Amino acid sequence: MCKKTVITYGTFDLFHIGHLNLLKRLRALGERLVVGVSTDEFNALKGKKTTIAYDERAAIVDALSVVDAVFPESSWDQKRADIVRFGADVFGMGDDWAGRFDDLRDICTVVYLPRTPDISTTAIRAQLREPALPN
């Protein structure tokens, strides 16, 4: 009997509760969750610079009990081949990507889940740039 497989992608820099919540909700959609973690080189192509190196981000995601496998995401166009390779039934992303991957609906179910309110890597970075309050 095949396990229902869910696939997702992300950078997962400065791993936070929003990342964990999304991965838990995605795992609840199936029995197996595979996660593509964006490489440093791919992030550079997207104009993003990560704080944590790929190997460490991938290790953090891989250590989560809700994640069954981690693999590198190195291009936008690998998703279709990854869905086939992993036998994914569901492709899921946060709703900030709504509509962006609808072209994959011909090979799997595509879902966009709500983000955790008031948390994002961008907000954490902005907070870290604020001057510290004196003790």
Catalytic residue positions? Answer: 46, 48
Helices and strands in the chain, H and E counts:
5, 5
Cα Rg of the chain, angstroms: 15
d(CA 125, CA 129): 6
Q: Residue 65, exposed/middle/buried by CB under 10 A (0-12, 13-18, 19+)? A: exposed
| φ/ψ of residue 42, rounded to 5 | -65, -40
CB 95 within 8 A of CB 115: yes
Instruction: Tell me how far CA of residue 34 lies from CA of 43, 91, 126, in angstroms.
Output: 19, 10, 30
